[in-house]
Structure 1
Amino acid sequence: MIKIVVADDHVLTREGLKNRIQKEAIDMKIVDEASNASELLKKIHAEQPDVVILDITLPDKNGLDVLKDIKINYPKIKVIVLSMHPEERYAVRAYKAGASGYLSKDRENLTSELIRAIRVIISQNRRYVTKEVASQLAEYIQSSGFKKHLELSDREFQVFCLIAMGKTIKEIAKQLSITIQTVYTYRNRAKEKLDLETDADFTRYAIQHNLID
């Protein structure tokens, strides 16, 4: 039996996944669920699951940071990132951080593909990569730097996106649990790497590359 823990801040999403997976996959069981990062890490410690289905957007910590924590403390646990964000925003970063799979929530037949991904990851001990993600990875490998935002660190990218969305420095510092000065540092690094000058440039770049809604 493949043991699974689901982490998502929407209870309807968790319940939907739980009901459909346990209905369609007799070899899988969702042993627990979590609504935030802190709760997830406690559940992982208690249940020692084979797979974690992880949302990128959690209320207390960014999903990529949670993914890194899991891979450091529980390297044998496989993590599938299930996100509302399209592949071009986070897929490459998720795989670089140790994810075994990345699926966007708006995919057709999502549950069936998620079940297939889990079986591939567990039975074949390899990553599950969709055609869309494969394209993103190939582009990154073949022309690193073609999309400059891929060269930002995860934290620089988080700050960049939040600024592009109109968040203030103070709001970003609170959301990411870092100091205001640290936010400025990441912002300045992002500006240098992207060759941008103003926060408005961040917004234009983000919209142009479909990095924010």
Structure 2
Amino acid sequence: MHKISVLLADDHAIIRDGLKQLLADTDDISVEGEAANGNEVLALVRECDWDLVLLDISMPGRSGLDLIKVLKEERPDLRILVLSMHHEEQYAVRALHAGASGYLTKESDSEVVIGAVRRVAGGGVYMSDKVAELMVRDRQPATEPLPHTRLSDREYQVFDMLVSGLGLTEIGERLSLSVKTISTHKTHIFEKMNVSNTAALIHYAIAHHLTKTEEY
């Protein structure tokens, strides 16, 4: 019987260990590779054919939505299932638009994770009811789109880090970008969202349930 070959990508070893144990208890899924950052993911995808990448989008180096787009450009048939600490409201729609075939939070039950791996590896798409609702809402034209939906993917990533309390230098280090570039993104974010300080961004994020439960 063919086993689903999984590349497991997460920068936390304890999470990788837990997922490996979870998937090892199945008869049809096998973790054949591991990566702790986006650059390792890209290198391994270039080296081998994988049935599925189980991907955390908040890792050091190249990560996030940009990584999904690059992976799909290089391997259009690659199946990607995002398993993230970010709530659906934060990244699910953007991840699916970038090329992922499913989105789960790390709060998901074990059975849900296994079922999603099987569905996505088999050519399907996995969405929770919440993500499906967000996708439908995203397709409906809005007379007054919410300010954060106007942000580019990179701007949204910087926005997310700003409201998490990170400074420009730390954001630059984590995204491998200069402080000047991050500062430019910050300026554009303030302009698009019509705010003048980070405190207003934080208030907006809380009001629209765009904050997460864990730190980067």
Q: TM-score, normalised by structure 1?
A: 0.90
Q: How does 1:16-55 map to 2 (within 5 A)?
A: 16-24=18-26, 26-55=27-56
The 8 Å contact of residues 79 and 101 in structure 1, kept in 2 or not, is answered as yes
AA matched with 1:182: T
Query: 2:14 corresponds to which residue?
Result: 12
Q: What SS class does the counterpart of residue 139 from structure 1 fall into?
A: helix
Length, aligned pairs only: 209
What is the match of residue 84 of structure 1?
Answer: 85
- Report if the CA contact (8 A) 1:31-1:47 is conserved: no
User: How many angstroms does 1:186 deviate by?
Assistant: 1.4
1:159 corresponds to 2:158: yes
Alignment of 1:1-213 (within 5 A): 1-24=3-26, 26-107=27-108, 109=109, 111-123=110-122, 125-144=123-142, 146-213=145-212
Offset of 1:104 from its aligned partner?
A: 0.4
- Mapped partners of 2:156, 2:69: distance in 1: 16
User: Percent identical across equivalent pairs?
Assistant: 37
Per-residue CA deviation, residues 37-86 of structure 1 (Å, 9 max, x unaligned), is: 12222222233111000002112233222212211111111000001111
Change (3 A) 1:193 1:21: same
C-alpha contact 2:81 2:120 (8 A) present in aligned 1: no
Alpha-carbon shift at residue 156 of structure 1 (Å): 0.6
Counterpart CA distance in 2 for 1:27 and 1:171 is: 41
User: 1:10 is aligned with what amino acid?
Assistant: H
Mark the runs of 5 or more structure 2 residues left unpaired by the alignment: none
Residues 54 and 63 of structure 1 are in contact (CA less than 8 Å); yes or no, is this contact kept in structure 2?
Answer: no
Let me know the Cα RMSD of the aligned residues: 1.8
Counterparts of 1:200 and 1:59, CA distance in 2: 26
| Structure 1 segments unaligned to the other structure (5+ residues) | none
- Give the Cα separation in 1 of the matches to 2:172 and 2:194: 23
Displacement of 1:143 after TM fit?
Answer: 4.4
Q: Separation in 1 of the partners of 2:13 and 2:184?
A: 36
